[in-house]
Structure 1
C-alpha cells in the first residue's frame, strides 16, 4: 500500500521522545520555536470561531502574542531537556547534579588533595640550625595560579656544610710508583698526614726534591744487604689541591720503579766535595836530582778512615768532615745534608750476599766476578769477603761548620767544612768502603721530609651493586650524615633520592683527628644511577642536597570563631571562612583523604567522623562536607546521632589549613622562598616537582567510580571493586586491575594513571590500596601498583576538506575527534582520550582514518606515518622532551604494553589540510 496518497504524514509537533540506551546525551524536547509557532498557527487555521482571522503577519498583536508563546515554549522545552539530562548520572554535566546523584548511593566526590614537596635549604655560618615543624615555604608552580604554601612536617636539623655539596667515587688501593710517572701525591709531611700539615708545606713551582730510597743497607742493623736504589732529583712544575690530595706535577719523569711510597727532601743548594776539580796529578821537585816527579791525585776517600795522615798534600780530615767546594757562611748547624754518590766496599761474611740479577740493576758487572753458581765449590763462601759497588744516598745532620784553607793534591784554597753527625757507612758488616769524591754530591735540605705516593686511581663505568661513595669533611660533619636522606642531581637535571646507611661506628678515628677534614667512606641504601666518573674529584657533575625539609601543602590559618552553639538546633552547620580546606592522604583511614581541621567547642576538642551513622547521642563528633562551590561546611549532630552543640556565644572555634591541588615543577625563572623568618637561612631550592596534589574529583571520574562503589558495598571482592576503589582516590584518572602470577605467585596488578604521573603518587596509591585490602578486602594476596605511562605516537596525517568549508574550522574538529593533547590540557574523549582508551589497547591505522573521516566536511584521509615514539629508560613522561623519529614509517598496527596508554600530543602530529579540488570542480 502506497503512503503517497493514503497515509497521514507524521506530525512534526510534538516530537516523539525516544532515546536508545547508553547515550551521552538524551533528547527531551518536543519542539523548537518554529515547531511551536507552526503548531499554534495550524490550530488557529482549524478554529471555526476564528476563521475570519486570516492575517498572519507579526504586525498583528494576536500573532505577536502567539509568537511570544512559541518563544516561551522553546525556552521551557530547552530547560526540560537540560533538567532531564541532569537527572541521570551518565548525562549530567553540572557538578552539583553529579554530586547529588552519586550521593544517593552514599558516594561523595573526593575533595582536592594537598601536594607534597621537599625543599633543600642553604644555611650560612658554621653551626647547625633547627627548622621547626610548620615552617612555611611558598613556591609558584607551572600548574597553578599564584604561589602555593607548604609547611614542614616535623622539626629538622640542617647544617651549613650539607647545603649543597659533592660526594666522590672511592679511590682504589695504593699502587707502586712506576718509572715514567710525572705526577705524585703528597701523603705526609714529617710523618703528619693531616691536610693542614701537608698544606703548610707550601710547595711552589721550581722547588727541587731529592728522593732518598727507603732501602738503606748502610745503617747499623740493616740486616740482609741489598743494593740501594739510586736517588733522583725532581723539579716541581705545578701543584694542585683536590680535596685532601695535594698533587705535584714534575717537569721530568721518574727513571726508576719505586715502591708504594717514597721519601723526598726539599733541597736548596748542591755542593761538591772539595778537590773534585783538582788536577789529575801534581808535580814535586826532587831537590837531589832536580827532576819534577808527577804523582796522581787521590780522588778516592775512605768512609771510615781519616784523610791526610800528616801528608803535606792532603789536609787532615776525619771521616765525618766533608769539605765543600766553596765557602759559605749560611749553612746552619743542626741542618741536614743529603749525600749521594757511589760506594765500593767489601761485604763481610756475617752478611748474606746481595741478590744480583742482571746488568740493569744498580751494581756493575765487575761486582759479579767473584760469584759462582752457589755456596761452596767456587761459590760465595770461597770468595768472601765480597766486593760490592752500589749507589749510596744517606741523610746526615750537620753538627758544625768551620771555615778552613785546604790542600787536596795540587789544589789549595779556602773552603767550608761541615762536620756531619755520623760516617757515611756505620754498618760494621760493610768494610773497606770508599767513594770517589768526584761523584759525591751534598744537597742542602731546606724543609721537612715529605712522603709521596702514586697518584690516586678510580674505577670507571656503572656502579652495578656497589653503594659506596666518599665524603670529604671533618668527623663531626660526616657523623651528621648518618641516616640522612640525600638528593642527588646531575647537570642535566636527573634526580635520585638516597639514604645514608653508614653508622657512627663506621667512621673510625684511627690515624685521624676530629679537627681536620678527611675522606670518609659512605654507604648508601642503593647504587647511584649515574656513572662513576660523574663523581670525579676534579670535575664533579653531581650536586648533593643534604638539608632536605619535607613539607606538605596547606597554610595554617589563625584560629577563627565559627559561631555560637544553639542546643535547640539539630545538625547545626557552619561554613569555614576560607577555602579550599586542605586534605591529605592518611592510608589507614576510610576514605583516606582527611581534612587538616581541628574544631573545639568551649575549648574541648571534638572528633571528626565520616558519617553520623554509628554515633551515639552523647558523642562529641562532627562531619565535614563540601558544597557545590567548594566551600567546606562543618555539621554537628542532632542529639540522636551525635550530640547537639551546647548553647553559647562564639563557643565554636576552628583551626585549619587551606590550599590544595599543587603539583608539578616550579615556574621557569621562579625560586621558592621561605614564608617565615629563620636565622642564618640562605637560599631555598626545590629540585623535585611537587607530587600528590590533586584537584577535586572530576565529574567524569565520578561517573565511573560511583556505580562501581555502590555495587561493591564497601567491600573489595572482584577486579572492578579494586578499580573503583582506586578511581575514588583523588588524583587517579584511570585504573585497570588484573590477576597475574609470575613464578607461580598470584597477585593483583593494578595499573593507575595519576595527575602527575610520578612514582611518588603511585606509591601513595599503593599504600592506600593495601590498607583498603587489609580492612575491606580478602587480604589473601599482594597488590602490585604500577604507575601507568602514556605511550606517545607520531602521526603524519593528510586530508582533503570540502570546498565550502574553512580550514580553521576543520582543524579543531579533527583534533577533537582524535583526542589530541594540547599544552597542558589532556582530552578525556576522542580516539586518544584517556577515558575512551584502555591500558594495553593497541591501534590499527584504519581506526585513525575512520575517526577523522567522520568529521563533517572531511572528504578524504591519508595516513603517511604512524609509529610509536621511544620513551627511553626510565620512561620520559614529558611529551615536549620527546622528539619525532628521524626515520618516519607507517605501521599498519601498533601494539601497546599492559601499563601504557596510547596518546597523541600536538607536537607529534603533522596535519596537512588540503581543499578538495575535485569537489570544487564538480560544484562549479
Structure 2
C-alpha cells in the first residue's frame, strides 16, 4: 500500500513493477512500467547524481533529456510487447489462434480444421431420355459468405429423369357421392375422346341417373364453364342438380337437335261433312300406340300407319347417325325419360288430323314403354313427347374432387404417367417454397399396377408427416406454390486438384514430412472417426495406397500409415513414421504422390442473381438448382472455442465418463456454440440428455451431431445408457433503456460500450463485440433468467454513464432470423424478470441489436462550491 502523500511528500516510485496477478484473470499485467514510469525513473536518477547537480533543465529541447525520453519510448514499446507475449503464454489469456493452438497441443488437443460444405443439387434435364450424372461430377456455386465460388463434386452416380426435373404435388382429395345441390361435376378427360364428344360453354347436357329403364331423374342443363383438373374435367352447369341423392355417378349426354312428334301441333278439331252435306266438328286424338301400329281412328286421320318402334318427327331432317341415342321425354303420365337407339330413318309425308306435311320416320330399338311402378301403358300423348338427338356416346359424371379432411400429412398426390410414378419410389425429393424455404425427404409409391387410362393422379407416401413450415395447405389443386425437385444429387465441397508429387522417400530418415502444394485441404465430418474431421486426401507410395491415422499412437513398425496436420497458416503437412511407430518411407525418386481436394467453408444459400454452374460436360443438361442451402462448411476452429474445450478434453483422457466429458466433446464439433449435459429420465429410462446450440442457421446439422455423439458413446463411452440430443434455441429479448451521460464523455463511444457490456449481437460489422457482455453466449447458460435490475446495473458500470434505468423489457420468442421478430406495440411492457419459454432448458436468452433502444439524458454538472 502506498503511503498517504497528501502533505506534500514525494510518493515513492515503484519501478520496476513486480507482476502480481490473482488466478482466473482474463488478462494479466506483466509490464514493469510504461513510458511515464521509465521517464520518471530516469529523471529521478538524474536528480540524485551529484555530478549533474547543475543540470536542471528538463524539457525535451535539451539533447540529453530528448535522449532519455527516447529511451523511455523504447522501454514502453518493449514492455508493451512483453506484456502481450506474456498473455499469449497462458491458455486463459491468449488471444491469438496460433498461441492457443500451440498451448492446447501440449494437452493433446488439435484445433479443428475448416470443413467443406455439402449441398443437395437438383438437376433439370431435357428431352425424354434419362441422363446419368456420374460420381465426381464437378459443380460450382457462389454461396453466401464466401468471396470466391465454391467447388463441389457429386458423391455418387445418379440417374436424372426429365419428368422429375421439376413438378408439383397436390394435397389428398376424394370424390364424394352425389348428394345435396350440385352445380359442378367432373369427368375423366379421356372419356371425351372415347365418346367422340367435345363439351363447350353453352352446350346442352341431359343428365340421367340410369339408361336401362325409364327414369324421373332426368334434367337438361346449360354448360356454364369447362375447366380441366389433372386427368378430370370439371363441368359447371347453370342451375343445380338435386336429384338422384346417394348415387356415385350420373350419365350425361350432349344434346344436339330437339324434335317433337309429328302431329303435336295439329288442330284440335276437324271439319266433317256428312252424307247429308251437314257440317260437324270432331275432336281428334293425340294418342299414339306404344305396342302396336298407329293407324287412322274414327275421328282422326293418321296416314300412313307406323309401328310402335317408329317415331315421325315434326320436321324433315337430312341425316341422323345410326346407332346414336335418342332421349324421349314425356312418354308416361309420370315425368320420365327413356333412352333408345336409332336403328333407321327415312323421309316421307304424313297427315295427322287436318295437319299434313313432310316428316322423317326414325326407327328405334324398342317400344317406348314405361314399365315402372307396375303400370303398362298402351298409348301416350304425343303432345308431351320431346325427342332429343344426342351427340356421341354417353358420359359418366361424378362430383368434383373435394379436399380430404381426414388427410394426415403423410401422403400427397402426383400427376403423371405410370412410368414417372414408378421412378419416384424410394427416391429423395425436395420441396421449395417461393420464399426459399426448403424441405427434403424420401417418398414411396403404391405397388399395384395402374395403366395411364385408369388413373394419372396417384398417391405418394412421405417418409415423415408434413410439419412446421410445410402444411397440406401449401399443396392446393390450383396454382400450387411449392416446387418439387425429383433429380436430387448429393455433393460435397472440394475441388479435386491435379495429382501432386510431394517428393522423394528416404528410408534413412525418420518422420519424413511433406507439405501439400495447395491449401486449404478439404475436410468432412465422418461420424465413425475420432476426431470426426477426415481429410479428402489419398497418399500413394510407389503406387500403393497408404492409410491415414489420427496419430502415431498404438501403431506397429511395419504399418504403412501417415498423419496430417495443419500449421498456423492453414497449410497441410503429411508426416510418416520412424520405423517404430509406423513404417518409414521407402527410398525412391518422386515416389510419393498425393490426390486431394481443396476448399472449405461453404455454408448458406446461393447468392442472388447467380446460378449453379456445371464444370463438366453432361448431355441434355438444362439447369442445375440449389433448392436449399449449403450446410456443414465452417472456418477453422477459433481460439476461443479451443480455450473452452481443450481443458475438458485433457481431463477426459479421450474417454467419455462424466457429463463434462460429453460437453467438451460436443463443443469440439464444428458448428456447435454451446452444449449442456444432464442426467434425465426419458420414458422412465435413464439417459444423458445433451442440449446443443448450433450456430445461427445450422439447425439442419443437428442430426449429424447426434450421429457423431452416438458413435463417440459406442467407441469411447460406457454404452450403458442412450444419448439424447435436443437442439437448443436462442430466445430474443427486447430492451428499452435510458441512461444519463457524463458531460465529459462523447455519446457514441459510450453507446458502443453499453452495447458491448449488454452483449448485443448483429452489430459485429460496426465493431461491436458483445461476446463478453451480459447476453453474450459465453456468459449465459440454458434456462438462465434475466432481470431488469441487473441490466440497469450493467449499464451503470460503463464508464461515462451516471445512471441508467430500464423502461421496457420482455421476450420476443425464438427465430432463425431475429430481424423477422416484431417488437411489441407502444407502450412496451416492462417485466421485472424475463424467463425462458416452454422447455426452458433448451433456450438461451439473447439480445439482437435492433431490439435494443437506448435514449440518453444529459447529467447535470455538480455545483461549484
- State whether TM-score is above 0.5: yes
- CA shift, 1:526, in A, is 2.0
Distance 1:9 1:63, change over 3 A: closer
1:714 aligns with 2:715: no
Equivalences for residues 736-775 of structure 1 within 5 A? 736-775=676-715
1:548 aligns with 2:488: yes
8 Å Cα contact 1:488/1:543 also seen in 2: yes
Q: Aligned partners of 2:288, 2:843: CA distance in 1, in Å?
A: 90
Within the candidate set 821, 842, 854, 1:899 is matched to 842
Q: Which moved more, 1:391-400 or 1:631-640?
A: 391-400
Q: Which residue of 1 aligns with 2:397?
A: 452
What is the CA-CA distance between 1:26 and the residue it aligns to? 0.7
Structure 1, unmatched stretches of 5+, are 188-192, 219-227, 344-388
> Residue 775 of structure 2 aligns with which residue?
832
Post-superposition Cα deviations, 1:830-857, rounded to whole Å, max 9, x if no partner, equal: 1111111111111111211111111111
For the structure 1 residues 3 and 838, does the alpha-carbon distance in structure 2 shift closer, same or farther, using more than 3 Å as the test? closer
Contact in 2 for aligned 1:757/1:789 (Cα 8 Å): no
Please tell me whether residue 231 in structure 1 is matched to residue 218 in structure 2: yes
Aligned to 2:325: 336
2:466 counterpart of 1:528 = yes
Q: CA deviation at 1:57?
A: 5.1
Whole-Å separation in 1 of the counterparts to 2:271 and 2:462: 82
Partner of 2:537: 597
**Is the partner of 2:663 in helix, strand or coil?**
helix
User: Which of 449, 453, 456 is 1:518 aligned to?
Assistant: 456
1:643 Cα shift? Answer: 2.0
Alpha carbons 2:199, 2:254 under 8 Å: kept: no
Cα distance between partner residues in 1 of 2:39 and 2:310? 137
The alignment status of 1:68 with 2:70, answered yes or no, reads yes
1:421 shift after superposition: 2.8
Contact 2:369–2:377 (Cα < 8 Å) also in 1: no
Which position in structure 1 is the counterpart of 2:334?
390
Q: Is the 8 A contact 2:671 2:698 kept in 1?
A: no
- 8 A Cα contact 1:215 1:229, kept in partner: no
Deviation at 1:169, TM superposition (A): 2.1
Q: Does the 8 Å contact 1:499/1:524 carry over to 2?
A: yes
* Distance in 2 of aligned mates of 1:263 and 1:729: 67
**How much does 1:247 deviate?**
0.6
Unaligned runs of 5+ in 2: none
* Aligned residue number for residue 666 of structure 1: 606
Alpha-carbon separation, structure 1, partners of 2:4 and 2:390? 128
Q: Any residues of structure 2 matched to 1:434-445 within 5 Å, and which?
A: 434-445=379-390
Which of 485, 489, 497 aligns to 2:432? It is 489
Residue matched to 1:317: 306
Show the 5 A alignment for 1:280-299.
280-287=268-275, 289-299=276-286
What TM-score, normalized by structure 1, do the two folds share? 0.87
Judging changes above 3 Å, is the alpha-carbon distance between structure 1 residues 532 and 35 closer, same or farther for their aligned structure 2 residues? closer
Q: Structure 1, residues 60-88: CA drift from partner, whole Å, max 9, x if none?
A: 55444433333332222222212211111
Post-superposition offset of 1:599: 0.9
Cα 1:50/1:423, change in 2 over 3 Å = same
Matched position secondary structure for 1:840: coil
Match of 1:856 among 785, 790, 799: 799
For 1:881, the equivalent position in structure 2 comes to 820
Q: Which residue number in structure 2 is paired with residue 584 of structure 1?
A: 524
1:458 Cα deviation from its structure 2 partner: 1.7
Query: What secondary structure sits across from 1:710 in the alignment?
Result: helix
Q: Pairwise CA RMSD of aligned residues?
A: 2.6
Contact 1:757-1:787 within 8 A present in 2 as well: no
Q: For residues 769 and 70 of structure 1, do their structure 2 counterparts lie closer, same or farther at Cα, with a shift above 3 Å needed?
A: same
Paired residues of 2:152 and 2:495 also in contact (CA < 8 A): yes
Q: Any conservation in 1 of the 2:126–2:620 contact (CA below 8 Å)? A: yes
Deviation at 1:151, TM superposition (A): 1.8
**Could you tell me whether the CA contact under 8 Å between 2:676 and 2:690 is conserved in 1?**
yes
Pick aligned residue for 1:100 from 87, 96, 102: 102
Q: Distance in 2 between matches of 1:419 and 1:567?
A: 109
- Give the Å deviation of 1:824: 6.3
- For 2:638 and 2:41, the matched residues in 1 are separated by 42
Structure 1 Cα separation of the partners of residues 787 and 262 of structure 2: 100
Asked if 2 retains the 8 angstrom alpha-carbon contact of 1:561 and 1:650, the reply is yes
SS in 1 for 2:707: helix
Partner Cα distance (1:66, 1:23) in 2: 34
Structure 2 CA distance for partners of 1:146 and 1:200, relative to 1, 3 Å: farther
CA pair 689-853 structure 1, distance change in 2 beyond 3 A? same
What is the alpha-carbon distance in structure 2 between the residues aligned to residue 604 and residue 171 of structure 1? Answer: 60
Matched residue count: 850
1:30-69: CA deviation from partner (whole Å, max 9, x where unpaired): 1122222322333333334555655555455544443333
Whole-Å Cα distance in 2 between the matches of residues 199 and 490 of structure 1? 40
Q: CA deviation at 1:487?
A: 2.2
Answer whether contact 1:401 1:418 (CA < 8 A) is retained.
yes
Are residues 58 and 885 of structure 1, via their aligned partners in 2, closer, same or farther at CA, if it must alter by over 3 Å? closer
CA distance in 1: counterparts of 2:684 and 2:614, whole angstroms: 52
Match of 2:573 among 627, 630, 633: 633
| Contact 2:370 2:377 (8 Å CA) reproduced | no
Which secondary structure does the structure 2 equivalent of 1:112 belong to? coil
Q: Matched residues in 2 for 1:200 and 1:30: separation?
A: 104
2:178 matched to which residue of 1? 176
Please give the secondary structure, in 2, of the residue aligned with 1:543. Answer: strand
Q: What SS does the aligned partner of 2:281 have? A: strand
Question: Which of 236, 242, 250 is equivalent to 2:237?
Answer: 250
- CA shift digits 1:384-436 (9 cap, x unpaired): xxxxx434423333333222221111112222212223322397986452111
Question: Contact 1:195/1:516 (CA < 8 Å) preserved in 2?
Answer: no
Deviation for aligned residue 1:803:
1.1
Q: Distance in 2 between matches of 1:200 and 1:494?
A: 46
1:694 to 634, 645, 669: 634
SS at match of 1:814: helix
Alignment counterpart, residue 137 of structure 1, candidates 136, 139, 143: 139
**Equivalent pair of 1:692/1:756 in contact (CA under 8 Å):** no
Single out whichever of 421-430 and 625-634 deviates more from structure 2.
Answer: 421-430
Name the SS for the 1:418 alignment partner: strand
Q: C-alpha distance in 2, partners of 1:867/1:196?
A: 64
Q: Does 1:39 align with 2:41?
A: yes
Equivalent position to 1:84, from 83, 86, 89: 86
* Distance (Å, rounded) in 1 between the aligned partners of 2:453 and 2:379: 50
Task: Give CA deviations for 1:259-311 in whole Å, capped at 9, x if unaligned.
Answer: 22111221211111111111112121112x22123222110111111111697
In the alignment, the residues of structure 2 paired with residue 283 and residue 743 of structure 1 have an alpha-carbon distance, to the nearest angstrom, of 103
Alignment partner of 1:80: what SS? helix
**CA contact 2:270–2:283 (8 Å) conserved in 1:** yes
Cα pair distance change 1:501/1:703, threshold 3 Å: same
CA distance in 1, matches of 2:232, 2:160: 28
Q: Secondary structure at the match of 1:643?
A: coil
Deviations 1:562-583, CA, capped at 9 Å, x for gaps: 2222333322211112111111
Which of 506, 512, 515 is the aligned partner of 1:572? 512
Q: 1:906 to 1:322 in 2, by over 3 A?
A: same
Q: For 1:3-14, what aligned pairs fall within 5 Å after superposition?
A: 9-14=11-16
Structure-1 residue corresponding to 2:353: 409
Check the 8 A contact 1:238/1:250 in 2, yes or no: yes
Q: Which has the higher strand share?
A: 2
Cα deviation digits, residues 658-700 of structure 1 (max 9, x gap): 1112222233343333333322222322232222222211111
Structure 2 equivalent of residue 241 of structure 1 = 228
Post-superposition shift, 1:644?
Answer: 2.1
Q: Does residue 590 of structure 2 align to residue 650 of structure 1? A: yes
SS at match of 1:211: strand
Tell me whether 1:730 sits opposite 2:670 in the alignment. Answer: yes
